[in-house]
């Protein structure tokens, strides 16, 4: 028998997490059924259907747009799916005609998605809601990893600019990206796949992405003033003595390239033939007019998100 690899262990961990979450959801669904049955009996109703609200008037439906859509998507992830005035999820709905059920939350790390049950349980709950409407999602969207390499820990990925080996510390970066984040992705993809197979009796396409090249210019959310989030890269560069923006951009590009290589490797695994990796590198300009496309160090502007979302829509 072939020796089990670390990737195999991560696949198994994802399946185990899915089994654990599904058990939790089974108990929750039993409780839900008991409450609804008790309500029917208490009010002397013939069925649960009598608890449903009246259908909206046709004029109201028309005001909201047609009931038809290009399909339903379920999104799990970070701020690229959960940004205040424009993000991929909202633009897929408004500009591409999809309905999106999202459990994404800004700031979440892919390791937390993989090893804690919060987002996965919420994801499972959304699948259950769709099933109650006899809807099968067209695809699952997953965004994660940016918060795992940016922020307070970013400076740990850098050697000092004045050292004999300036730039990224390849040993540390490989440990973070090729081990921690890679195994987290394998686990979460395995868990999501298992839940879809269990609830929907089929494999649902999963779309993942590896971000674009950021510009580490020190801008946070709304400038990063006071208690607002960010900047996420510039402080690490400052600590390690990198002042030149062109040098910072080159190092950030190297980091994003390494992240994308890892994610492409995960999507190419035999267990993930249903996973589609979207390469977003080069979608947004990092040249002289970069502020038109980048709202801050980690997030596109509305125009930038529109370009990114077009890439997603083309794959879906």
| In-domain check, residue 53 | no
The verdict on residue 33 lying in a domain is no
- Kindly report the pTM of this predicted structure: 0.88
Q: How confident is the model at residue 31 (pLDDT cuts 50, 70, 90)?
A: confident
Lowest mean pLDDT among 116-125, 227-236, 265-274: 227-236
Residue 229 token pair:
């989030």
Q: Is residue 1 part of a domain?
A: no
Terminal CA-CA length for the chain? 38
Distance CA 43, CA 45 (A): 6
Token representation of residue 30: 């039993």
Instruction: State the DSSP string of 183-222.
Output: HHHHHHHHHHHHHHHHHHSSPPPEEEE-------SS--GG
Distance separating alpha carbons of residues 177 and 259, to the nearest angstrom? 6
What single DSSP character describes residue 48?
A: G
Average pLDDT of the segment spanning 141-162 = 94
Overall domain count for the chain? 1
Q: Which of 288, 304, 282, 212 is nearest to 246 (CA)?
A: 288
For residue 287, the model assigns a pLDDT of: 85
Are 181 and 231 within 8 A, CB to CB? no
Each residue's pLDDT tens digit, 252-296: 999 999 999 999 999 999 999 999 999 999 999 888 899 999 999
Inside any domain, residue 50: no
What tokens were used for 6?
Answer: 């670390």
Length, in residues, of the chain: 316
What domain range includes position 267? 70-315
Asked if the structure places residue 295 within a domain, the reply is yes
Is the residue at 5 inside a domain?
A: no
The whole-number pLDDT of residue 66 equals 53
Kindly provide the b/e burial profile for residues 112-145, where b requires at least 16 CB atoms within 10 angstroms of the residue's own CB: bbbbeeebbbbbbebbeebeeeeebbbbbbbbbb
In whole angstroms, what is the distance from residue 154 CA to residue 175 CA? 13
Chain-centre distance for alpha carbon 84:
16
- Angle between helix axes 182-200 and 118-132 (nearest 10 degrees) is 20
- pLDDT of 22 strictly over 50: yes
Model confidence over 166-186: pLDDT tens digits? 999 999 999 999 999 999 999
Higher-confidence residue: 52 or 141?
141
How high is the pLDDT of residue 256? Answer: 97
As a whole number, mean pLDDT of residues 238-244 equals 97
pLDDT at 220 over 70: yes
Instruction: Name the DSSP class of 156.
Output: G
Q: 21 lies in a domain?
A: no
175 in any annotated domain: yes
The pLDDT, as a whole number, for residue 193 is 97
The CATH number of residue 143's host domain is 3.40.50.1110
pLDDT at 56: 53
Pick from 56, 220, 185, 211: nearest CA to 109: 185
Q: What is the mean pLDDT of residues 145-166?
A: 94
Contact 237, 199 (CB under 8 A): no
Question: In this model, does residue 63 exceed pLDDT 50?
Answer: no
User: What pLDDT was estimated at residue 61?
Assistant: 44
Q: Which helix (H) or strand (E) is 100 found in, with range?
A: strand 99-102
């Amino acid at each position: 028998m072939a020796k089990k690899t670390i990737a195999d262990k991560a696949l198994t961990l994802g399946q185990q997490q899915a089994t654990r979450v599904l058990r939790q959801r089974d108990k929750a669904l039993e409780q839900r059924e008991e409450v609804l049955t008790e309500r029917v009996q208490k009010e002397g109703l013939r069925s649960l259907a009598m608890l449903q609200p009246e259908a909206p008037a046709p004029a109201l439906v028309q005001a909201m747009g047609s009931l038809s859509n290009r399909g339903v998507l379920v999104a799990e992830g970070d701020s690229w799916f959960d940004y205040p005035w424009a993000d991929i999820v909202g633009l897929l709905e408004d500009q591409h005609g999809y309905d999106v059920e999202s459990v994404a939350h800004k700031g979440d790390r892919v390791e937390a998605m993989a090893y804690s049950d919060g987002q996965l349980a919420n994801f499972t709950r959304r699948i259950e809601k769709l099933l109650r409407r006899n809807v099968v999602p067209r695809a699952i969207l997953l965004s994660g990893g940016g918060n795992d390499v940016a922020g307070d820990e970013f400076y740990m990925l850098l050697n000092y600019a004045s050292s004999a080996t300036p730039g990224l510390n390849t040993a540390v970066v490989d440990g973070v990206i090729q081990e921690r984040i890679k195994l987290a992705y394998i686990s979460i993809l395995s868990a999501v796949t298992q839940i879809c197979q269990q609830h929907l009796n089929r494999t649902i396409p999963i779309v993942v992405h590896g971000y674009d090249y950021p510009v580490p210019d020190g801008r946070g959310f709304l400038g990063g003033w006071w208690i607002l989030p960010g900047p996420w890269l510039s402080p690490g560069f400052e600590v390690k003595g990198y002042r030149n923006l062109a040098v910072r951009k080159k190092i950030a590009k190297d980091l994003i390239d390494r992240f994308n290589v890892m994610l492409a490797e995960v999507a190419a695994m035999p267990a993930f033939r249903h996973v589609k990796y979207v390469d977003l590198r080069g979608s947004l300009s990092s040249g002289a007019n970069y502020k038109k496309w980048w709202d801050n160090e980690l997030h596109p502007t509305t125009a930038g998100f529109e370009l990114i979302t077009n890439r997603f829509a083309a794959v879906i």
